[in-house]
Amino acid sequence: MARTGTASTSDVSAAALPRVSHGRGSHIWDVTGKRYVDGSGGPAVYCLGHADPRVNAAVLAQMEKIAHGYRYLFTSDPLEEMTAIIAGHMGGDLCEMVFVTGGTEAVESAMKIALQYHHDSGAPGRVRFIARHRSWHGNTLMATALSGFEARRRAFAGALPPVGRVSAANAYRPPAGVAPADLAAHLAAELEAEILRLGPETVAAFIFEPVVGAAGGVVPAPPGYAQAVAEVCRRHGVLVISDEVMCGSGRTGIWRASAEDGILPDIVTVAKGLSGGYLPLGAAVFTRRIGDVLRRGHGGPLTGHTYTGHTACLAAGVAVQRIIAEEGLLAHVRRRGPAWQEEIRAGLADLPEVGDVRGRGYFIGLELVRDPATKEPFDPALKLNERVRAESLARGLICYPMGGNVDGVRGDVVILAPPYNATEDDLAEIADKLGQALRAALAQVR
């Protein structure tokens, strides 16, 4: 039975969830009539807000024709249209893809594509993956194994396959003794050392998020990092997988987030903003070079699901992407995002505990620290991120607080990811209510 009640700041972990009623644009109402401004797009997914009549009409029109034409029996107009949209945004020869129903499936598919590529290339021993600390790649066992998010791994640790691990790429928290100017080179050397430790002939791929989402609290890759690690991978025949489930599909103002880092990965995963949460949709996108190898070996990728290429889901995604293009929303996010980030930083300047405000476009993270000089995090027993969540909801703000970003246990961050078409009033309301919630939560732990 669902619980009902009101969030309590005295026992934040026991706070009950409100029951949702409906949404319109950047706002959601619960069944009591209380209104919330959606400052994080839920988990950074609702890129066009809620209940857009154009998207709903497109889904309804498709449902009235056929909900699902099984991908391995039929193609469809929405599938062909979405394929062309994604390929047009990806660039290079990133033009082949497997459609799925979410980010975890996209990552799992990317891993299988990488393994099959090496097998079909005559290197079946390349079965190992390397990932970073403070990363998150999904909920299946293998995707969880890739992830460096200890709180979400701990219960399954005994069953997780081994994965090579390298440091997070975090300019705010670099490895001890590493200067900012040397960070990219240091991390690239660390990746190469890990490849050599495992044996290059055993490594299939390196996976990373160009802007780390939930596990790090919106951490953009440092300048030069992506190019440096991609060069290491190329040198050793290791594929590069860019996980853009959270930061991609325009969230940073660039459709393919890794394009801003100056690289063309071998495989890219997308979801969330692809269909804006209207229906579940994701994709693992790979190069024609990889596709050619898979066709010669097995006739194509050996990964797919019952709902691969689900017709109505693709129709929703096509409608979302058309609206984003027609309204010029990516250019808007590129222009407005940095200014909004500065406005948030200025509005919180009186709070020394706001140690870092960072991000790209409409993907912004705030890291809260006990001591801004040393960057010492708060004691996790204080449950600061949960207090921020409770205080935000009490004021009618949806944001995305998380914990453990420093070492898997310590650390508190807040993620903002508003709809691309949020109004100026929406952005002002988000910033104002966030300031109120942070002041209230911090007052409780000082």
Where helices occur in 305-355 by DSSP H, the ranges are 311-326, 329-347
Question: Is there a single domain that holds both residue 182 and residue 290?
Answer: yes
Q: Render pLDDT for 89-123 as a digit per residue (tens, 0 to 9).
A: 999 999 999 999 999 999 999 999 999 999 999 99
Question: Is there a single domain that holds both residue 152 and residue 223?
Answer: yes
Kindly tell me if the per-residue pLDDT of 8 is higher than 80: no
Asked, for residue 7, whether it belongs to a domain, the answer is no
* Structure confidence at residue 16 (pLDDT): 83
* Structure confidence at residue 226 (pLDDT): 98
Question: Is there a single domain that holds both residue 273 and residue 304?
Answer: yes
Last residue of one domain, picked from the residues 326, 349, 377:
326
Q: Render pLDDT for 127-170 as a digit per residue (tens, 0 to 9).
A: 999 999 999 999 999 999 999 998 899 999 999 999 999 999 99
Kindly tell me if the per-residue pLDDT of 5 is higher than 60: no
* Structure confidence at residue 15 (pLDDT): 62
pTM of the prediction?
0.95
Question: Is there a single domain that holds both residue 319 and residue 213?
Answer: yes
Give the H/E segment covering residue 243.
strand 239-243
Question: Is there a single domain that holds both residue 279 and residue 381?
Answer: no
d(CA 444, CA 204): 48
d(CA 146, CA 372): 31
* Structure confidence at residue 7 (pLDDT): 37
Question: Is there a single domain that holds both residue 270 and residue 380?
Answer: no
Determine the average pLDDT of the residues in 338-353. 98
Question: Is there a single domain that holds both residue 279 and residue 370?
Answer: no
Asked, for residue 33, whether it belongs to a domain, the answer is yes
Q: Find the CATH number of the domain harbouring 255.
A: 3.40.640.10
Question: Is there a single domain that holds both residue 137 and residue 233?
Answer: yes
Question: Is there a single domain that holds both residue 143 and residue 227?
Answer: yes
Q: Render pLDDT for 56-96 as a digit per residue (tens, 0 to 9).
A: 999 999 999 999 999 999 999 999 999 999 999 999 999 99
The residues near 397 (Cβ < 8 Å, ≥ 6 apart) are 36, 37, 39, 429, 430, 433, 434, 437
Asked, for residue 32, whether it belongs to a domain, the answer is yes
Angle among Cα 83, 283, 128 to the nearest 5 degrees reads 130
Asked, for residue 427, whether it belongs to a domain, the answer is yes
Kindly tell me if the per-residue pLDDT of 4 is higher than 90: no
Total of domains in the chain: 2
Question: Is there a single domain that holds both residue 317 and residue 339?
Answer: no
Asked, for residue 1, whether it belongs to a domain, the answer is no
Boundaries of domain holding 116: 54-326
Helix (H, G, I), strand (E, B) or coil at 1: coil
